[in-house]
Amino acid sequence: MMRIDMVSLKTRLIREHNRIYKCWMRLLWHIYGMQSPLVLMVHGFKPTKEDCKSSFEMTAMSFERLMTYLTDNGWHAMTYDELKQMVETKQWKQKHFYLTFDDTYDTVYTEAYPVLKKLNIPFTMFITKGLVGTKTFITMEHLKELTKDPLCTIGCHGLEHKVFRDFTPDETKCQCTEEKAWLEQTFDIQVDSFAFPYGRIVEVSNSNRRQIAKMDLSLAFSAIEGTLRSAWWTSNHYLPRVNVSEAFVERFTQGKHIRYKDCEGR
């Protein structure tokens, strides 16, 4: 009986932590507004809007519309080095963005990559070793080709795409260092960034974040919504991002005020 109480108390505390965190980010969102630098988080693409069943899915057409809108409206597409320098110096610049892909579906290669090459937009793909070449995820051949393009930076996303909160310190270390070593040796690249799988506060503990900060990785990304100017609250190893959904593209490309809920991953 005692044990059940302890577990429920822990769960309640985690949920409360998540709630406080989100309240803060919501408040900061309103203070900093939409001209603040953004890290965009994109997953895969679906053929039509009707096929998009969650805010993690969008059409390739909407993706191209957003990228074109950003470049036509004075937004600067940062390189990874520019992003890193901005985060490390905290010199926040208006209308700057950086593009990231999580999990990396093969549609990133077939649908997004031609657009990014055409518009010369740099991006990071967060790779999970266990997903490469399976189901709809990126093939080894496409991944190899992308790692040779200077526009593309590769980051870790965990060996198996599991929730980090439940890991022991050894498991956390293994998920990152083994994957980083695999990526670096297989593709002859340097891996300097990480994105937590799932990435909300309920799925990532303080000790996970402290451990990642001590590893040989300059930046780590969360799935907490916010502009980069909110990063003082989250640290360089739990950076906020904006989830790009159909609703986000719709409002953003019409110049409408972006609400916090438009950027939430649900």
Q: Which of 127, 138, 119 is nearest to 100 (CA)?
A: 127
SS3 assignment, position 102: coil
Among 155, 197, 226, 240, binds Zn ion (CB under 5 A): 197
Rounded distance between C-alpha atoms, residue 179 and residue 176, angstroms: 5
**Tokens found for residue 131:** 């997903």
Segment lying near Zn ion (by CB under 5 A), choices 19-27, 46-54, 99-107, 139-147: 99-107
- Residue (103 or 192) nearer to Zn ion, CB: 103
- Closest approach of Zn ion to the CB of residue 264, in Å: 16
Segment lying near Zn ion (by CB under 5 A), choices 63-71, 72-80, 100-108, 135-143: 100-108
- Residue (64 or 102) nearer to Zn ion, CB: 102
- Closest approach of Zn ion to the CB of residue 128, in Å: 7
Confirm or reject binding of residue 111 to Zn ion (CB under 5 A).
no
- Residue (28 or 164) nearer to Zn ion, CB: 164
- Closest approach of Zn ion to the CB of residue 241, in Å: 12
Among 103, 203, 225, 264, binds Zn ion (CB under 5 A): 103
Residue 21, CA atoms < 13 Å, CB-side half-sphere: 26
- Closest approach of Zn ion to the CB of residue 138, in Å: 13
Long-range CB contact pairs, 118-122, < 8 A, 24+:
119/67, 119/68, 119/71, 119/77, 120/77, 120/151, 121/67, 121/71, 121/77, 121/151, 122/77, 122/78, 122/79, 122/80, 122/98, 122/151, 122/152, 122/153
Question: DSSP letters of 71-84?
Answer: HHTT-EE--HHHHH
Segment lying near Zn ion (by CB under 5 A), choices 6-14, 104-112, 193-201, 207-215: 193-201
Segment lying near Zn ion (by CB under 5 A), choices 67-75, 82-90, 102-110, 211-219: 102-110
Q: Which of 25, 27, 29, 20 is nearest to 258 (CA)?
A: 29
Confirm or reject binding of residue 203 to Zn ion (CB under 5 A).
no
- Closest approach of Zn ion to the CB of residue 58, in Å: 15
Rounded distance between C-alpha atoms, residue 147 and residue 76, angstroms: 23
- Residue (87 or 195) nearer to Zn ion, CB: 195
Lay out the site mask for Zn ion across 150-179 (x = CB under 5 A, - = otherwise). ------------------------------
Segment lying near Zn ion (by CB under 5 A), choices 4-12, 49-57, 92-100, 196-204: 196-204
- Residue (80 or 194) nearer to Zn ion, CB: 194
Q: Which of 265, 178, 192, 260 is nearest to 226 (CA)?
A: 260
Confirm or reject binding of residue 102 to Zn ion (CB under 5 A).
yes
Rounded distance between C-alpha atoms, residue 99 and residue 121, angstroms: 8
In the region spanning residues 230 to 259, those forming contacts with Zn ion, defined by CB under 5 A, are none
* C-beta separation of 18 from 30 below 8 A: no
- Burial (CB < 10 A; 0-12, 13-18, 19+), residue 189, is middle
Q: Which residues bind Zn ion (CB under 5 A)?
A: 102-103, 197
